[in-house]
Amino acid sequence: MSKPSKEFISPKTLIAPAAAVYSHIAKVNRGTIVYISGQVPSDASGKIIGEGHFEAQVEQVFANLKIAVEAAGGVMADIVKLNYFLAAEVDQADVPKMRPIRDRYLNVAKPPASTFVVVSRLMRPGWLIEIEAVAAIDD
């Protein structure tokens, strides 16, 4: 029997992932690796979607990630790593509001490895969040 193309691992000897929203390790056993640049809360015309509204911006970013991974021939469940960049101006009390949106897009049974970084600001004024991804697409 062959190994699964992707394995998501959280060793018991490491701190448990917060609320089980990520895996410590995403192991790719086969497939094509795709690196997706940071996706921002703008539509194809460059218009900021949800200016000043964190949840609307998160929704747009995940929609853009979906477009990107599908353009590469994959699906959202192929994402093995996410790097979140959050503008410091976002109220930390709003961050948990991101999870239900994220959960609609990702495989919550096998969440990708993730890193969350708060930055002083993002490249364009008005952007509150940016997310980059790595996907492993089965051949």
Domain extent listing, the chain: 30-137
Confidence of residue 6 (pLDDT cuts 50, 70, 90): confident
Confidence of residue 19 (pLDDT cuts 50, 70, 90): low
Q: What is the pTM of this model?
A: 0.89
Can you list the positions of beta strands (E) in the chain?
Answer: 6-9, 25-28, 32-39, 79-87, 113-119, 129-137
Does residue 138 sit in helix, strand or coil?
Answer: coil
Fold of 30-137: 60s Ribosomal Protein L30; Chain: A; (3.30.1330)
Confidence of residue 14 (pLDDT cuts 50, 70, 90): confident
> Which amino acid is located at 3 in the chain?
K
User: What distance, in Å, lies between the first and last C-alpha atoms of the chain?
Assistant: 17
Please check the confidence at residue 55 and state whether its pLDDT lies above 90. Answer: yes
Residue 33's pLDDT is 93
* Spatial separation of the C-alpha atoms in residues 10 and 16, rounded to whole Å: 7
Give 37's contacts (C-beta < 8 A, 6+ positions apart). 68, 132
Q: How far is CA 5 from CA 21, 37, 67, 134, in A?
A: 21, 23, 22, 14
pLDDT per residue as tens digits for the range 111-126: 999 999 999 999 999 9
Confidence of residue 18 (pLDDT cuts 50, 70, 90): confident
